């Protein structure tokens, strides 16, 4: 496209290309006001002196004019949320002549993030004996439809960490306590605290020995039965108390597999037998799963789930090959009552992937000897602060660097997975994962530490590429862009993670962060790339779970979700993510539908 300079007779070429880059709600995470970066092709005339940016809130009418000099990109800041702006550019010469306007582009600044509303008073038991564990659940509404995390103020000076909508606590002293809940959205905005849910913790009666069995009534569950403290099975619990506990709480889980020191791979599925309720028939509400290393009883995996009730898969890289472990489970029913822990069932992991030089990278995924993704002049294979891996199914290299994060002390393992491969650890893979899936394990200086991991890419990440995390517990993909920041050339990305919190798949603050994730290329703004298998897939236009995108999931289930429209079911409200296929199957099965599920048995 050309225009004639009437005064000089020379041709000044109009800008051939003008586009909006990095348009994402993610911008708000690093700036106080909305901003947008513009870029255009350079003019080639020797008399070119620079460019001007023009913009306003009406098409073709520009109220702001900025001289940006001889640059081909410019970041416009101070834009108002919820407003549409129109941009054009001109080129000018040293003599002061100016071209016509380039093609016009527009951008609507997303509305500012809004904090969640105050939760309802938490739901839980009204009375409990001192020393008994209670489970409370919270529910709040987010005006933007974002998924929420919760924490609980237990009223005794203790406040829980952030987590799911259910929390467990034990009061050791008698008294009345006020349990409150608070919600937080992915951008960190906090709700007000909820109102109180009162719980009365009952004190034991005076220390009498009514039945004369030598056990004080305060410790005797059956103070009028002199045979109470008999212990026929030698488990340290009185026989009568054991029978009473069976009637008042769900039965302890029975490990099904693995057990008996069976050899399994490093991503085993743990399974229990069916839930056995208390005498009143209260339904199964939650299951807590733990995996411990036998050598030192170190807790490596600790996850409480309302969906993985009788089966769960341990995420990749949580366990090491050739190592003995044991696992156990604990059930909670709908009344908040906990079962006893199951026995800790032993198993042995098979030898892991071949890694001859013990650098944490499989031999068949080692990078070229000259690879230097962080461009510091030292080959990555000669450094310990970066581990570079060749991504399966592509020619891309990705380097995981902890050089800029003092809290990270070692990169213990890095592996890649071909998203197009059949079977494997990850299910329901997105269609467009240009760089594949990467798993890494990082040791941190102390439990609960936050780290900033720098990822380096051998090729620029596509403009529509975003960082998605795989949740192996619920078998779903979640847009994790709110915790990432790309470099200008999109060859590097900073990723924020916390041990035991955001971004850590093992669910426990144990000094190790495990993270399975990858670049997903979305098909258009506001929509996620569909899963390859056609089942449901969680994807958002900007922040993880922001709900500002659209989704398509099983039509029949979608209709049911629209009719149910309540928390705990499926939802089609804007801002709510569709549950994965396995979760939908469980939802229907629990309501009488004969639909098989491999996650409950």
Residue 576 to residue 548: CA distance in whole angstroms: 9
| Mean pLDDT (whole number) for 208-217 | 73
* Structure tokens, 298: 């170190």
Beta strands per DSSP E along 138-174: 149-153, 166-170
More confident residue, 519 or 514: 519
Count Cβ atoms below 10 Å from residue 40 Cβ, excluding itself. 22
pLDDT at 1 over 70: no
pLDDT at 530 over 50: no
pLDDT at 515 over 80: no
Count the residues in the chain.
601
Q: What is the CATH number of domain 127-202?
A: 2.60.40.10
pLDDT bracket for residue 330 (50, 70, 90): very high
* Structure tokens, 526: 């506001």
pLDDT of residue 34: 77
Query: 93-109: string of b/e by CB count within 10 Å (b at 16+)?
Result: beeebbbebbeebebeb
pLDDT of residue 234: 61
Contact 188, 502 (CB under 8 A): no
Q: Measuring CA to CA, how many Å separate 446 from each of 110, 184, 384, 498, 555?
A: 38, 25, 19, 11, 47
Contact 284, 305 (CB under 8 A): no
CATH topology of 2-108 equal to that of 270-349? yes
| Mean pLDDT (whole number) for 164-177 | 92
More confident residue, 3 or 371: 371
| Mean pLDDT (whole number) for 345-362 | 88
All structural domains of the chain with their residue ranges? 2-108, 127-202, 217-248, 270-349, 363-529
pLDDT bracket for residue 15 (50, 70, 90): very low
pLDDT at 519 over 60: yes
| Mean pLDDT (whole number) for 408-422 | 83
DSSP of 271-303:
EE------TT-PPEEEEEEEEEETTT--EEEEE
pLDDT at 240 over 70: no
pLDDT bracket for residue 245 (50, 70, 90): low
pLDDT at 401 over 70: yes
pLDDT at 425 over 60: no
* Structure tokens, 498: 């916390």
pLDDT at 191 over 50: yes
Residue 414 to residue 391: CA distance in whole angstroms: 10
Residue 140 to residue 202: CA distance in whole angstroms: 30
Contact 529, 536 (CB under 8 A): no
More confident residue, 205 or 432: 432
* Stretch among 141-150, 190-199, 469-478, 558-567 having the lowest mean pLDDT: 558-567
pLDDT bracket for residue 75 (50, 70, 90): very high
Four-residue CA torsion sign, 556, 522, 451, 328: positive
pLDDT at 5 over 70: no
* Percent of the chain surpassing pLDDT 70: 74
Q: Does domain 270-349 have CATH number 3.40.190.10?
A: no
Q: What is the CATH number of domain 2-108?
A: 2.60.40.10
Q: Give the position of tokens 């030292």.
A: 378
- What φ, ψ does residue 364 adopt, rounded to 5°? -80, 5
Contact 387, 453 (CB under 8 A): no
User: What single-letter DSSP state applies at residue 466?
Assistant: E
Residue 539 to residue 480: CA distance in whole angstroms: 9
| Mean pLDDT (whole number) for 158-184 | 93
- What φ, ψ does residue 363 adopt, rounded to 5°? -55, -35
């Amino acid at each position: 496209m050309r225009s004639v300079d009437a005064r000089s007779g020379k041709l000044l070429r109009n800008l051939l290309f003008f586009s909006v880059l990095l348009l994402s709600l993610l911008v708000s995470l690093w700036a106080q006001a909305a901003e947008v970066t513009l870029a255009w092709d350079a003019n080639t005339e020797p008399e070119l002196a620079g460019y001007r940016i023009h913009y306003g809130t009406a098409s073709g009418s520009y109220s702001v004019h900025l001289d940006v000099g001889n640059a081909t990109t410019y970041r416009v800041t101070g834009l108002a949320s919820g407003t549409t702006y129109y941009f054009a550019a001109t080129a000018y010469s040293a003599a002061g002549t100016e071209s016509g306007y380039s093609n016009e582009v527009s951008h609507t600044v997303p509305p500012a993030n809004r904090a969640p509303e105050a939760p309802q008073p938490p739901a839980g038991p009204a009375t409990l004996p001192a020393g008994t564990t209670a489970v409370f659940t919270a529910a709040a509404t987010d005006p933007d439809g974002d998924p929420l995390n919760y924490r609980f103020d237990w009223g005794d000076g203790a406040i829980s960490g952030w987590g799911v909508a259910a929390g467990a606590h034990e009061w050791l002293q008698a008294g009345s306590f006020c349990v409150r809940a608070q919600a937080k959205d992915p951008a960190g905005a906090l709700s007000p605290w909820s109102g109180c849910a009162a719980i009365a913790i009952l004190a034991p009666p005076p220390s009498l020995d009514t039945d004369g069995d030598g056990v004080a009534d305060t410790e005797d569950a059956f103070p009028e039965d002199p045979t109470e403290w008999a212990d026929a099975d030698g488990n340290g619990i009185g026989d009568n108390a054991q029978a009473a506990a069976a009637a008042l709480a769900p039965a302890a889980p029975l490990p099904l597999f693995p057990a008996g020191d069976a050899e399994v791979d490093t991503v085993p599925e743990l399974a229990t037998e069916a839930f056995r309720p208390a005498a009143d028939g209260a339904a199964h509400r939650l299951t807590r799963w733990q995996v411990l290393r036998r050598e030192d009883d170190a807790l490596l995996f600790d996850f409480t789930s309302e969906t993985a009730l009788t089966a769960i898969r341990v995420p990749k890289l949580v366990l090491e090959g050739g190592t003995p472990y044991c696992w156990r489970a604990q059930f909670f029913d709908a009344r908040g009552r906990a079962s006893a822990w199951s026995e800790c069932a032993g198993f042995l992991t098979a030898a892991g992937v071949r890694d001859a030089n013990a650098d944490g990278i499989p031999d068949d995924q080692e990078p070229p000897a000259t690879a230097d993704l962080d461009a510091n002049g030292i080959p990555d294979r000669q450094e310990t602060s970066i581990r570079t891996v060749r991504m399966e199914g592509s020619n891309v290299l990705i380097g995981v660097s902890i050089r800029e994060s003092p809290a990270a002390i070692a990169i213990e393992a890095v592996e890649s997975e071909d998203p197009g491969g059949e079977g494997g650890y990850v299910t329901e893979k997105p269609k467009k994962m240009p760089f594949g899936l990467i798993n890494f394990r990082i040791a941190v200086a102390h439990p609960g530490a936050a780290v900033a991991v720098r990822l380096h890419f051998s090729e620029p990440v596509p403009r529509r590429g975003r960082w998605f995390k795989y949740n192996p517990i619920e078998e779903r993909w979640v847009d994790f862009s709110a915790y990432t920041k790309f470099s200008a050339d999109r060859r590097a990305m900073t990723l924020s993670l916390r041990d035991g919190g955001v971004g850590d798949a093992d669910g426990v603050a144990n000094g190790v962060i495990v993270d399975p994730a990858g670049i997903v290329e979305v098909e258009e703004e506001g929509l996620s790339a569909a899963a390859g298998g056609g089942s449901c897939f969680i994807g958002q236009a900007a922040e993880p779970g922001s709900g500002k995108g659209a989704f398509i999931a099983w039509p029949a289930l979608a209709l049911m979700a629209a009719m149910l429209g309540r928390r705990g079911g499926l939802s089609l409200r804007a801002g709510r993510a569709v549950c994965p296929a396995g979760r939908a199957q469980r939802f229907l099965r629990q309501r009488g539908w004969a639909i098989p599920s491999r996650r409950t048995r």
